[in-house]
Amino acid sequence: MNNLLEGIDISVTFKAYGDEILAVRNVDFVLPEGKVVGIVGESGSGKSTLARVLSGLQIPTTGQVKYLGEDIRQGSGVYKGELRKAVQMVFQDPYSSLNPRMRIINAVTEGVLQHQTNDKQLAKEIASKLLKRMGISEIDSRKYPFSLSGGQRQRASVARALTAQPKILIADEPTSAIDQSAQSQLLELFGELIKDGLSIVLVSHDLGVIRYLTDFVYVMENGVFVESGETKDIFEKPKNPYTQKLISSIPGHSIK
């Protein structure tokens, strides 16, 4: 099995008011092809920073990220050319990827025009089908982002990311800003994308989401991975005290 994405000895240091904050410390990460890998931890653990590094939005202080064995940095650029399409990110706040002044159908059509075809009519047809698959009706697709529910906006942002036909989707806390019903719809959608062969990095503090979707889990605390393993093993037989504390917090869940 090929490793699509690898993080090697990644560290990220931020400077604030003269102090240095080590957000991520010397971590290694692997996403095999066709798998869903979770990064779980409490707020401030460094998981979102690592997600941004893997997506190319954050340059690591030290270490490197490789896509199919090749460094994602080429000179001063990151994920240049066709490689940019391979890895797409879905954010906790869907407004990060949706233009508030653009109707949903137009935002997705713009993505199709950028990544798939120059034919405007064909692009709109592709966008409409993609939004329909995301559970966005034709009527709702003509609305602006502020007129949609949080769950609809998040599914629309997934549609926008999928216009690039990526190999990898990096989802950073995709369910945290939406209600329970919308979460279920989004998780069902993710399940369909996984069946289609999309590889996903799922970043979340929601252990239920991690347990439901992932094959392998990295547990992060204070910028380092304290434990990693197959999802079933992590949830049934956690070894690290921090992991045990996280798992024990799940209502009705007992550690074997």
Residue 255 lies in a domain: no
CB 51 within 8 A of CB 90: no
Residue 67 lies in a domain: yes
Amino acid letter, residue 61 = T
Residue 253 lies in a domain: no
- pTM equals 0.90
Q: Note down the domain range covering 18.
A: 3-248
Residue 9 lies in a domain: yes
Q: What is the mean pLDDT of residues 8-26?
A: 92
User: What's the whole-number average pLDDT of the chain?
Assistant: 90
Q: Which residue has the tokens 């920073």?
A: 49
Nearest to 171 by CA among 192, 157, 182: 157
Which of 6-10, 122-126, 174-178 is predicted least confidently? 174-178
In eight-state DSSP terms, residue 44 is: T
Residue 172 lies in a domain: yes
* Number of domains comprising the chain: 1
Q: Which residue has the tokens 């990295």?
A: 218
Q: What pLDDT, in 10s, does the model give residues 98-138?
A: 889 999 999 999 999 999 999 999 999 999 999 998 889 99
Please give the pLDDT value at position 151.
87
Torsional class of 140: left (φ above 0), alpha (ψ -120 to 50), beta (otherwise) = alpha
Residue 56 lies in a domain: yes
Give dist(CA 6, CA 68) in Å, integer.
Answer: 8
Residue 163 CB partners (closer than 8 Å, separation 6+) = 108, 111, 112, 114, 115, 116, 126, 127, 130
> Does 170 have pLDDT greater than 70?
yes
- Structural tokens at position 188: 């069902």
Please give the pLDDT value at position 186.
83
CATH code of 86's domain: 3.40.50.300
Please give the pLDDT value at position 254.
58
Q: What is the mean pLDDT of residues 8-21?
A: 91
Residue 200 CB partners (closer than 8 Å, separation 6+) = 36, 37, 168, 169, 170, 171, 190, 193, 194, 213
Pairing of strands 199-204, 36-40: parallel
